[in-house]
Amino acid sequence: MRIGTWVFIIAILVFAIIFVACHVRIVNQSKSVVIERLGAYYKTWGTGVHFLVPFIDRVAMNISLKEHVVDFDPQAVITKDNVTMQIDTVVYFQVTDSKLYTYGVTNPMMAVENLTATTLRNIIGDLDLDGTLTSRDLINTQMRAILDEATDKWGIKVNRVELKNILPPREIQDAMEKQMKAERERREAILQAEGRKRSEILIAEGEKESAILRADAVKEQKIREAQGEAEAIALVQKAYADSLTVLSQANISDEVLKLKTLEALQKVADGQATKLIIPSEIQNLAGLLASAKEVTK
């Protein structure tokens, strides 16, 4: 064979190899490929090596099965009390059916964005400004449920929806800031008043306890003084009683003994005792002494 023929054969072989290689597809993990044959859906390729039949099969769409995170632009919404605000949302979704995702809607991303905007307007329209600002979790839950049900026929699973920013009009923000400032000042005034009240209560309780302790101290002092005086009087009386006992044992006459007793009682009466009981014998003796004094005059 001539050289030209060999060159032609080699060129055909190289072209065939390149042609076949160009129609071999390797599908990576977490991806899927939708294949059409003669213009109709044929199959969905998963992970592995696949061959695309030339002129018959074609790749309709190469789809990622990972979770998609889409941050949509802020949307103008109107609350129930006619306040216009800007809200931007973040949607987390995942493709669960590659065929439905390919043929269910023309532009899945645009469809999800428009559906998110309309759903958000419907939900916010039933809430006032305060409800919108304080009900993020409720709004997120409602939006996720509505979007997940609506996108199910597109082969999309909505896992999560988050309100990223809620931006009321500037005048509303200024009013909210003034309200928050007034609320903080009110709480500060309440805390200061409660602090003063607690301080005054503690001072009053301290003064009360101090007065009680002082009264107890005075009472204790008077009791001890009275007990000391009583013990002193008792000791004096015991001493004179002992002296009279000694005199009695010394066989002294009754008249002398009575006189000594009278002297002892006189000394006892010099104390602070308010009452003094004198035996009848001594009273009689005192009467005799008074009579004797009258006779001698």
Nearest to 69 by CA among 89, 87, 86: 89
Q: What's residue 135's pLDDT?
A: 84
Q: What's residue 248's pLDDT?
A: 60
Q: How many residues belong to the chain?
A: 297
Nearest to 120 by CA among 151, 162, 159: 162
Q: What's residue 95's pLDDT?
A: 92
Tens digit of each residue's pLDDT (9 = 90 or more) over 222-264: 888 888 888 888 877 777 677 667 656 665 556 555 666 656 5
Which residues are registered as beta bridge partners of 24?
Answer: 51
Q: Using 50 as the pLDDT threshold, list the residues of the chain that sit under it.
A: 285, 288-293, 295-297
Q: What's residue 261's pLDDT?
A: 61
End-to-end Cα, the chain, rounded Å: 195
Burial of 283 (0-12, 13-18, 19+ CB in 10 A): exposed
Q: What secondary structure letter does DSSP report for 96?
A: S
Distance CA 127, CA 136 (A): 11
Q: If you count DSSP H runs as helices and E runs as strands, how many of each does the chain have, helices first? A: 8, 9
Helix, strand, or coil here: 95? strand
Nearest to 89 by CA among 109, 108, 114, 70: 70
Q: What's residue 91's pLDDT?
A: 93
Distance CA 259, CA 270 (A): 17
Task: Please state whether 66 falls in left (phi above 0), alpha (psi between -120 and 50) or beta.
Answer: beta
Angle at 120 between CA 114 and CA 126, to 5 degrees: 145
Please report, to the nearest 10 degrees, the dihedral formed by the alpha carbons of residues 282, 284, 287, 288 taken in order.
-100
Cβ 81 vs Cβ 102: under 8 Å: no
Q: What's residue 279's pLDDT?
A: 54
The pTM score is 0.56
**Token couple for 196:** 């003063």
Nearest to 120 by CA among 93, 153, 86, 149: 86
Sign of the CA dihedral 215, 218, 220, 226? negative
Q: What's residue 251's pLDDT?
A: 58
Cβ 165 vs Cβ 87: under 8 Å: yes
